[in-house]
């Protein structure tokens, strides 16, 4: 039987204190449901490892020491997990043990002196300017058909690339946050932090063209989700991914390019055109400038390639 659109996979049940920790993340730290789900998976992996490591399901959190957690990372490496994934899992485990220590459940934190695996320095995948042009030409041609799907896909593209939104931010966007007169949108980013992001004129035009198709679904005309399905409900993350990925593949983009690559392209192209790094940081909603600086490396790598290919003395 086919899973209904947007249906969530069954959540793994966690041991004592695990669910309390997840409630802390959702209610006190106000992390997104997607992030909380990722923490749940990471803790479930740790519990699976510990049951095998101790040879019994009757272990306690106070049994876990630094050596055991290093063995957990080794277990992940043997399963073929990337260093970036292992670093994320260790970050989740650290947060959990800080929670246990802070609440007096443990008298020590075994993760305190642990170092994360060194991350690979992978440059983010992005689409070249010509590829973006081809992508929008196709999306605009489909939007001319005046169907819900065609108009909606162009809006998604304009917001992902034109304003640099994350997939989760686009998914959660409501009509009340759009200012089509002031050409801006209020976005709720990571950690439930709000930021104001400009809208391109092309995005405003695409949204105005889409709104009549949206109303035909029965969705409320002045409020509720921006991107809706045929029944007027909020379009699922998975549907947005499928919709945009199909467009990317139709334009001949390879499998390394994803929906998130549009956000990477937004940042890279702004910096290539001389945009200020601090301004790009604010537009992306990054908490740290170091996160934004990876895009300067992308630009430098491209400059090096141009230099190598074009300089008369190789």
Q: For 61-101, what is each residue's pLDDT tens digit?
A: 988 999 999 999 999 999 998 888 888 899 999 999 999 99
Lowest mean pLDDT across 48-62, 131-145, 272-286: 272-286
Residue 299 pLDDT > 80: no
**Mean of the pLDDT values across residues 143-163?**
95
Q: Could you confirm whether 40 is annotated as catalytic?
A: no
- Residue 72's pLDDT is 93
Q: Which of 126, 166, 171, 213 is catalytic?
A: 166
Tell me how far apart the alpha carbons of residues 262 and 219 are, in angstroms, rounded to a whole number: 28
Q: Which of 263, 264, 269, 281 is catalytic?
A: 263
Instruction: Provide the pLDDT confidence category of residue 304 given band limits of 50, 70 and 90.
Output: low
Q: Could you confirm whether 24 is annotated as catalytic?
A: no
Q: Which of 39, 161, 210, 295 is catalytic?
A: 295
Output the CA torsion 90→91→96→100 (10° steps).
90
Whole-model pTM?
A: 0.62
């Amino acid at each position: 039987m086919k899973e209904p659109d947007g249906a969530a996979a069954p959540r793994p049940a966690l041991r004592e204190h695990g669910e309390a920790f997840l409630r802390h993340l959702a209610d006190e730290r106000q992390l997104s449901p997607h992030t909380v789900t990722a923490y749940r998976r990471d803790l479930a992996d740790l519990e699976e490892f510990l049951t095998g490591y101790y040879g019994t399901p009757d272990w306690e959190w106070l049994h876990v020491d630094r050596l055991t957690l290093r063995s957990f990372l080794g277990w992940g490496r043997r399963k073929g997990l990337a260093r970036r994934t292992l670093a994320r899992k260790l970050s989740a485990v650290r947060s959990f043990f800080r929670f246990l220590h802070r609440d007096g459940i443990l008298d020590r934190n075994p993760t305190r002196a642990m170092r994360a695996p060194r991350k690979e320095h992978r440059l983010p995948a992005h689409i070249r300017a010509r590829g973006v042009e081809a992508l929008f030409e196709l999306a605009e041609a489909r939007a001319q058909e005046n169907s819900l799907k065609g108009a909606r896909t162009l809006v998604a593209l304009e917001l992902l690339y034109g304003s640099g939104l994350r997939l989760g931010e686009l998914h959660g966007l409501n009509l009340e946050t759009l200012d089509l007169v002031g050409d801006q949108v209020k976005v709720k980013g990571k950690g439930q932090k709000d930021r104001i992001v400009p809208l391109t004129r092309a995005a405003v035009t695409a949204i105005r063209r889409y709104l009549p198709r949206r109303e035909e679904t029965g969705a409320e005309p002045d409020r509720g989700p921006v991107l809706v399905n045929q029944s007027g409900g909020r379009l699922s993350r998975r549907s947005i991914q499928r919709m945009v990925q199909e467009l990317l593949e139709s334009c001949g983009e390879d499998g390394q390019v994803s929906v998130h690559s549009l956000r990477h392209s937004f940042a890279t192209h702004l910096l290539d055109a001389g945009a200020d790094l601090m301004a790009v940081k604010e537009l992306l909603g990054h908490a740290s400038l170091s996160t934004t600086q990876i895009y300067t490396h992308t630009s430098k790598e491209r400059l090096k390639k141009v230099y190598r290919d074009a300089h008369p003395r190789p």
